[in-house]
Structure 1
Amino acid sequence: MFRAWKTGAVLGALLAAGCGGEAPPPAPTPGPTYAWQLPAGFPEPFVPEDNPMSEEKVQLGRHLFYDTRLSGNGTLACASCHEQQRAFTDGKATPVGSTGDHVPRNAPGLANVVYLATYTWANPQLESLESQALVPLFNEVPTELGLAPRLDEVLGRLRGDARYIELFRAAFPNEAEPVGKDAIVKALASFQRTLLSGSSPYDRYLQGDDTAMTRSAKRGMELFFGERAECYHCHSGTNLTLSFRAKDSRLPERQFFNTGLYDVDGNGAYPPDNPGLFEFTHNARDQGRFRVPPLRNVALTAPYMHDGSIPTLEAVIDHYTSGGRNVTEGPFAGDGRANPNKDPLVRPFTLTADERADLLAFLESLTDTAFTQDARFSNPWR
Structure 2
Amino acid sequence: MTFASLKRACVLPATLTLVLVASLFGCGGGGTQAIDTGLSTSSWTWRLPAGFPVPVVPDDNPMSDAKVELGRFLFHDKRLSGNGTQACVSCHLQSLAFTDGRATSLGSTGEAHPRNAQPLANVAYNATLTWANFSLTDLERQALAPLFGDNPVEMGVNDRNQAEVLARISADADYSARFASVYAGQAQPVTWDNIIKSIAAFQRSIISANSRYDRAQRGELLLTAAETRGLNLFNGEKAECFHCHGSFNFNDQTRHLGLRLVDTPFHNTGLYDIDGKGGFPFPNRGILELSGKPEDMGKFRAQTLRNVAVTAPYMHDGSIATLEEVLDFYAAGGRVITSGPHAGDGRNNPFKSDLVAAISLTAQDKADLVAFLKTLTDEDLLTDPRFSDPFQ
Q: Paired residue for 2:180, among 162, 166, 169?
A: 169
SS in 1 for 2:237: coil
- The superposition leaves residues 101-129 of structure 1 with CA deviations (integer Å, 9 ceiling, x where unpaired) of 11000000111110000000000110001
1:249-283 CA-partner distances (Å, limit 9, x unpaired): 13533421000000111111101110100001000
Q: 2:195 aligns with which of 180, 184, 187?
A: 184
CA distance in 1: counterparts of 2:169 and 2:89, whole angstroms = 17
Where do 1:100-119 residues align within 5 Å?
100-119=110-129
Distance 1:29 1:84, change over 3 A: closer
The Cα offsets for residues 129-158 of structure 1, whole Å up to 9 and x where unpaired, read as: 111111100111111001123211110000
Equivalent of residue 234 in structure 1, options 244, 249, 261: 244
Could you say which residue in structure 2 is the equivalent of 1:76?
Answer: 86
Structure 2: tracts of 5 or more residues without a match? 1-23, 29-37
Amino acid in the other structure paired with 1:162: A
- Which residue matches 2:167? 156
- SS of aligned partner of 1:38: strand
Trace 1:1-382 onto structure 2 (pairs within 5 A): 9-10=26-27, 31-32=41-42, 34-149=44-159, 150-211=161-222, 213-382=223-392
- Counterpart-to-counterpart distance in 2, 1:32 and 1:181: 21
Contact 1:299 1:364 in 2 (8 A): yes
Percent identical: 52
Alpha-carbon separation, structure 1, partners of 2:167 and 2:136: 29
Task: Return the alpha-carbon distance in structure 2 between the equivalents of residues 33 and 46 of structure 1.
Answer: 17
Compute the displacement of 1:166 (Å).
1.1
Local SS of the residue matching 2:49: coil
Q: What corresponds to 1:4 in structure 2?
A: none
Q: Distance in 2 between matches of 1:303 and 1:156?
A: 37
For normalisation by structure 1, the TM-score amounts to 0.91
CA distance in 1, matches of 2:151, 2:83: 16
| TM-score computed with the length of structure 2 as normaliser | 0.89
Unpaired segments ≥5 residues, structure 1 = 1-6, 12-27
Other structure's SS at 2:278 match: coil
Q: Does the CA-based 8 Å contact 1:242-1:252 persist in structure 2?
A: no
CA shift at 1:209, angstroms? 3.1
What amino acid is the match of 2:387?
Answer: F
The separation in 2 between residues aligned to 1:209 and 1:29, in whole angstroms, is 31
Which residue in the other structure is 2:20 paired with?
none
Aligned partners of 1:48 and 1:316: how far apart in 2? Answer: 36
Greater CA deviation, 324-333 or 106-115? 324-333
Take 2:101 and 2:386, find their aligned partners in 1: how far apart are those partners? 22
Provide the C-alpha distance between the structure 2 equivalents of 1:254 and 1:267, rounded to a whole number of angstroms. Answer: 25
Do the aligned residues in 2 keep the contact of 1:40 with 1:198 (CA within 8 Å)? no
Once the 2 structures are TM-superposed, how far is the Cα of residue 33 of structure 1 from its aligned partner? Answer: 5.7
After superposition, the C-alpha distances for 1:354-379 in whole angstroms (9 at most, x for unaligned) are 11110000000000101111110000
Q: Residue type matched to 1:373 in 2? A: T
1:92–1:303 contact (8 Å) kept in structure 2: yes
Runs of 4+ with >6 A deviation: none
Deviation at 1:350, TM superposition (A): 1.1
